[in-house]
């Protein structure tokens, strides 16, 4: 193999490794930080309305948000 083929092979392998790391690396970092800050809060009537702020209100009905593990009980 000449120098060009070796360079292209190494660059291709590095590109594949970088893509694998990018797509299969850590994915749940955002959810972990929400749990560390006290959890996720949701509206009892509109559970798709969520916030990390425990003092937030629902943007549809104005109800106080409750911890998401209490929604549906």
At residue 16, the pLDDT reads 92
Whether 18 and 50 map to the same domain: the answer is no
At residue 36, the pLDDT reads 53
What total number of domains does the chain contain? 2
At residue 50, the pLDDT reads 92
Can you give the pLDDT of all 73 residues of the chain as single tens digits? Answer: 799 999 999 999 999 998 888 888 766 555 555 445 568 999 999 999 999 998 999 999 999 999 887 666 5
At residue 20, the pLDDT reads 84
At residue 34, the pLDDT reads 47
Instruction: Provide DSSP, 26-67.
Output: ---HHHHHHHHTT--EE-SS-TT-EES-TT-B-TTT-PBPEE
CA distances (Å), origin 67, targets 8, 13, 21, 28, 40: 53, 46, 34, 19, 6
Whether 24 and 51 map to the same domain: the answer is no
Domain that holds residue 24: 1-30
């Amino acid at each position: 193999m000449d120098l060009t083929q070796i360079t292209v092979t190494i660059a291709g392998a590095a590109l594949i490794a970088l893509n694998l790391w990018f797509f299969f690396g850590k994915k749940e970092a955002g959810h972990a930080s929400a749990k560390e800050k006290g959890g996720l809060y949701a509206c009892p009537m509109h559970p798709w309305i969520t916030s990390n702020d425990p003092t937030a209100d629902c943007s549809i009905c104005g109800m106080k948000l409750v911890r998401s593990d209490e929604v549906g009980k």
